[in-house]
Amino acid sequence: MDTLTYFINLAYVASAALFIFGLKLLGHPDSARKGNFVSAIGMFIAVVVTLMDQQIINFHWIVIGVVVGGAIGAWKAKTVEMTAMPEMVSLFNGFGGMASLLVGWATISGMTEEQLLAADGGLFVATFLTIMIGAVTFSGSFIAWGKLSGKMNSKAIIFDGLRLVSLGHLIALTILVVLFTLQPDVGIWLYLTIIVALSFGILATISIGGADMPVVIALLNSYSGVAAAAAGIAIDNTILVVTGLLVGASGLILTNIMCKAMNRSLLNVLLSGFAKPPEMGEKIEGEVKIMSSSDAFYVLEAAQSVLVVPGYGMAVAQAQHAVRELQDLLEENNCAVEYAIHAVAGRMPGHMNVLLAEADVPYEQLFEMDDVNPRMENYDVAIVIGANDVVNPAAKEMKGSPIYGMPVIEVYRAKTVFVLKRSANAGFAGVDNPLFFKENTRMVLGDAKDTLNNIIRDFSTD
């Protein structure tokens, strides 16, 4: 082993160690930024060393790509709204998949006919997986982006024959991997693979409802990692394999956590579009009891313990800073304030945690569903801000409900429940919520930020 090869392998080991250490730091809000920086250093080292390893002669296009891509990334990072973060994550996953697809395509395109015929079959299997998974990730991510951004209907799109068409795609991909491996010099198999995989990614995602999009985002993130790992095998790059496996494994772990939070298997989520729609149970009837923000203030002023349950509505209203200000006032009034975070609250994994961290809410005051449910009766007031499906008692009370069996934050067992929403309409999953009609529930209608600011003013003038 020459000196350069030894240095390159040592740098790859250092990069892998930085990635793992960075992932560890990302596990806590206090160290998340440092973890992101450490991982970025690892990636920088990996890119530079890879360029040295491949002995790149012309860096013009690489420099142009870095400048243009870096400028676009910095601009989007500065301008993106927190409400648009889920769809941006979807785009990131999609671009990651497309990058892997292009690497696989370039690997084959850069080989002569003699090299193609002489190469080992394992190379073509790895390249096929790179192209296929990358294409599925790309097209599936853009459908997820469309559903999350409102560019298309968030409901599952089902049509007669969807099952047969999807099965046909799987059979076609199985045939194509054989043909692609046996006849790598026949270019049509490459292009057919790209077309079929892109189509399959679209079909696989449009059949999944918007309420399951947080799970889909996590799964597509895992796909992008697997595609990158396959690309690493195809081009014989160790660090790409390692980083791809890290992303793939972490995405799959997160997907599993979110499926457990919904009491559903991953297979159930992926095949939800093929399932028979559940029959709705008894119709929800009752009277919604409206309360003004001024009356809500008097209840909060007397409260000794308050639980805040944030949802996507808090992100839309950008109410996280008002929530933190109300928390400070309540604590000055000798009231204990805690937050309950459901794993699928919002529209991407960790959405609520990021919003509350932005408002400097102490991480120690954020609790998971299983931590707060056993002591729910002890809370004087539970404030639900824009959340709907994750607090819906239909999950426990109505066997005909589409979300029946899903673990939820049982706010209906608190002494008093304030629901801050613009209206009493159903949430993102389109499921009616009997919480709105409970005897201990009061609806405080309007923009959540305005409502909270009104309560804050009442505290300040009291």
CB atoms within 10 A of CB 156: 20
Do 127 and 105 form a contact (C-beta atoms < 8 A)? no
| Residue 236 CB neighbours (<10 A) | 12
447 in catalytic set: no
- Give the span between the Cα atoms of 408 and 423, in whole angstroms: 21
The Cα angle at residue 433 between residues 281 and 318, in degrees rounded to 5 = 150
Residues 327 and 247 in one domain: no
Closest CA to 83 of 454, 378, 448, 371: 448
- Number of C-beta neighbours around residue 93 at 10 A: 29
What pLDDT shows up at residue 274? 46
Which of 433, 435, 432 lies closest to 416, judged by CA? Answer: 435
Let me know whether 247 and 346 are in one domain. Answer: no
Q: Is residue 62 part of a domain?
A: no
pLDDT tens series, the chain, 462 aa: 567 777 888 888 899 999 999 988 887 777 888 998 999 999 889 888 887 766 665 677 888 888 998 899 888 888 887 777 778 888 888 999 999 999 999 888 888 878 887 778 888 899 999 999 999 999 999 998 888 877 887 777 877 888 888 889 999 999 999 999 888 878 899 999 999 999 999 988 888 876 677 788 888 889 999 999 999 998 888 888 988 999 999 888 888 888 877 777 777 666 655 444 445 445 566 678 889 999 999 999 999 999 999 988 888 888 999 999 999 999 999 999 999 998 888 777 778 888 888 888 888 899 988 899 999 999 999 999 988 888 988 888 777 677 778 889 999 999 999 999 877 665 555 567 888 888 899 999 888 899 999 999 988 776
- Point out the catalytic residue in the list 389, 447, 458, 462: 389
The pLDDT of residue 276 is 46
CB 443 within 8 A of CB 385: no
Q: Looking at residue 414, what is its pLDDT?
A: 94
53 lies in some domain: no
Say if residue 270 is in the same domain as residue 339.
no
Q: Which domain holds residue 348?
A: 293-461
CATH number of the structural domain spanning residue 403: 3.40.50.1220
306 shares its domain with 375: yes
Assess whether 269 and 354 both reside in one domain: no
Q: Confirm whether 255 is domain-assigned.
A: yes
419 DSSP β-pair partners: 384, 443
Residue 92 within any structural domain of the chain: yes
Take residue 260 and report the two structure tokens written for it. 């457990």
Residues 85 and 168 in one domain: yes
403 domain-assigned: yes
Among residues 215, 243, 274, the one where a domain terminates is 274
| Residues 236 and 342 placed together within one structural domain of the fold | no
- Predicted TM-score (pTM) of the model is 0.79
Same domain, 302 and 230: no
Residue 357 resides in a domain = yes
Tokens of 331: 């604590």
Task: Check whether residue 212 and residue 342 sit in a common domain.
Answer: no
Q: Is 363 among the domain residues?
A: yes
Residue 11, in any domain of the structure: no
| Domain co-membership, 140 together with 173 | yes
How many domains does one find in the chain?
2
Sheet holding 305-310, edge to edge: 366-368, 336-341, 305-310, 381-385, 416-421, 441-445
- Which residues lie across from 340 on neighbouring strands? 367
Domain's final residue, options 243, 274, 305: 274
Domain boundary among 231, 246, 274: 274
